[in-house]
Amino acid sequence: MRLSEFLRNHSEKILAAWDEFAATVTHSGKSLDQKALRDHAAQILLAIAKDLEKPQTDA
């Protein structure tokens, strides 16, 4: 299985782990709910998967 496929197939588990980690990060200000903690994580994960599927240059 390619990494991009893994990211797509396991995105919910990855995002759940993201939520758990994000909840442990200390920050100043108000507490954040799950939506705020996740922020754009799903979109970032999808963008990474899409990029991995594109041909890469030597650079």
| pTM check: above 0.75 | no
pLDDT along the chain (59 residues), means of 10: 95 92 77 74 92 89
Q: What is the reported pLDDT for 56?
A: 83
What pLDDT, on a 0 to 100 scale, did the predictor assign at position 58? 86
**What is the per-residue pLDDT for 5?**
96
Contact 52, 4 (CB under 8 A): yes
Which residue has tokens 């442990």?
24
Q: Domain extents for the chain?
A: 3-53
